[in-house]
Amino acid sequence: MTLMDPALWEGKINTGTWVVGSGGTQDVREPATDAVLGRVGVATADDVYAAAIRADGVQKAWAATRPEDRAAVLRRAGTLFETHAEEIQRWIIREDGSTPPKAALETHIAANECFDAAALPHLPQGEVLASNESRWSVARRTPAGVVSVIAPFNFPLILSIRAVAPALALGNAVLLKPDPRTAVCGGVALMRVFEEAGLPAGVLQLLPGGAEVGAAVVDAPEVDVVAFTGSTGAGRAIGQTCGRLLKRAHLELGGNNALIVLPGVDVEKAASAAAFGSWMNSGQICMTTGRHIVHESVYDDYVAALVRKAEALTVGDPNTEDVALGPLIDDRQTAHCVDIVSAAVAEGASIAAGGTNEGRFFRPTVITGLDRDNTAWKNEIFGPVAPVARFTTLDEAVDLANDSEFGLSIGILGEVSVAMELADRLDAGKIHINEQTVSDESMAAFGGTKSSGNGTRIGGATVNIEAFTETQWLTLRSRIADYPF
C-alpha cells in the first residue's frame, strides 16, 4: 500500500479517522484534460463544528506532549515528504496542472517546512521580565489552541504546510480546509504524511468543501486563529468575521507585484528573471511579476528580449509533455485572463507576444503601450501576462511601483547602490534586489502590506511563534504577599 493509496481516503474526510463526509463526494479533475482522477469527500458546516469540538478536546494533550516528541513527529513528516516525493508530485502535476519542476519544488519546501518546524518546540518559549515587586515575572508563550488553515489551489502543498507544520509543532490542533480543486495534493497528502508520522488522531483534521465549510472553520467557537491564503475579497470577509468574534486572523492575500528594471542592466539576464517572475506556474502565484517598470534607455531591448522568451516557451499538458507552462486551473480563470487581455487592448494597449489560448492553455503574453489606468496594469491577473511600462526618472519608478492597492513583493534589477536607495522608498512586505518577485523560503518571514494582507504573519521561527502562540504573564512569589485589605 502506498502513501497516497486511494483505498485509504477516496470519498472521505478525516476527523480523526477517515469517514464519509456529510457533504458527499466531489470529482477530482485534471485541469489539462478535464479527466476525472478520483473522488474526495466533502464536509459540511456540521462536520466542521463537530471537528472543532474534537480538536479542542485533543489539543491540550498534544500541547502537553514533550517538546522532543512533537519535534520527532515533525522530523518524520519531513522525511516522509522526501521519501514519497515522487508519488505526491504526481498528484500535484495532474490535479493542479503543475510542471514537474514546480511539483518537485513543492515537496522539497514541504519537507523543509517540517524540518524547520521541528526546531520550534525546543526554542525559548518566553522571557524573564523585570519587576518592581519582590517576585519573578515571566512572559511565556502558550499554544493558541485550535488553528484553522484555509489554503488556495496554486501552490496547494506549500501554502497548506507552511501554516500546518509550525502550528502543530507549537502544540496547536489544526483544521485544514484545502481548495476544493486541489483537495488531494493540498489536503490528503498532508493528512496521510502526518498519520504516518505518528501525529495523534484528531490533532490534524481534513475538511474539504466550499464556502459553507470555509465560513464554519472561521466561526466555529473553538477556533482561536485563522490562517488564510487567498483572494483579497475573501480575506476581507474573513478578517471582518474574525474581528467581530475577537479571533486572530493571519491574512496572506493578493498581489500586483512590480519589477523595476534600472538603466545599465544586463538586458538578457533581466528578461530571463522577468520571464520567470511573470510566467512561472502560468502566472498563478500571489508573488507573480504583474508590472514591469523599465527605464526608457533599455525599454525597447527589454521588450524585444521578453518577447523572445515568450515565443520560445512551450505550453501543454505537463503530465504527458515536457513543457514550461501547464494549463490554467479551470475555465473561470481562463475566461478572466482572456477578459483582462481583451480589455487592455480595448483601452489602447498592444500585444507584443502571446495573448491567445487553446482552452486552458494560455500563451505567455507581453503587453505594451499601457498606462497606469489600464485594466491589465491595475489588476491582479493570476495568469501568464506581463504588462510593461517605461519610466524616465527614479522618482517616477518609485511612484509607479507604489501606486497600487497591493504591497506584497517588489523586485529591482540593476545597480545595487541605486536599488538600495529605491528599496527604502518602496511599500511592500518583500523586496528583492537583483531577483524577480517570486521567492519564498521556510526560514524567511512572509507577508504583505495594503490589500496584500495584514502584515508578516508566517515564516521563520520568530514570526511563527508569534503567529501560533499566545503570550501569558506569569508571576511567582516565595510566599503570599502582604496586602492592605
Rg (CA), the chain: 24
- Which residues neighbour 429 within 8 Å (Cβ) at sequence distance 6 or greater? 407, 408, 409, 446, 447, 448, 449, 452, 453, 455, 456
Catalytic center residues: 252, 286
What does the buried/exposed string (b/e) look like for 260-297 if buried means 16 or more CB atoms within 10 Å of the residue's CB? bbbeebebeebbebbbbbbbbbbbbbbbbbbbbbbbee
Q: What are phi and psi of 404, to 5 degrees?
A: -155, 150
Interstrand relation of 406-407 and 446-450 (parallel, antiparallel or unpaired):
antiparallel
The Cα–Cα gap between 330 and 13 comes to 24
Contact in structure between 372 and 389 (CB atoms under 8 Å):
yes
Q: How far is CA 20 from CA 56, 207, 220, in A?
A: 21, 11, 21
Q: What are phi and psi of 481, to 5 degrees?
A: -75, 160
Q: Which of 383, 375, 329 is nearest to 356 (CA)?
A: 383
Contact in structure between 102 and 442 (CB atoms under 8 Å):
no
What does DSSP assign to residue 437?
S
- Which residues neighbour 246 within 8 Å (Cβ) at sequence distance 6 or greater? none
Q: How far is CA 458 from CA 7, 34, 219, in A?
A: 34, 34, 21
Angle formed at CA 11 by CA 8 and CA 16, multiple of 5 degrees: 60
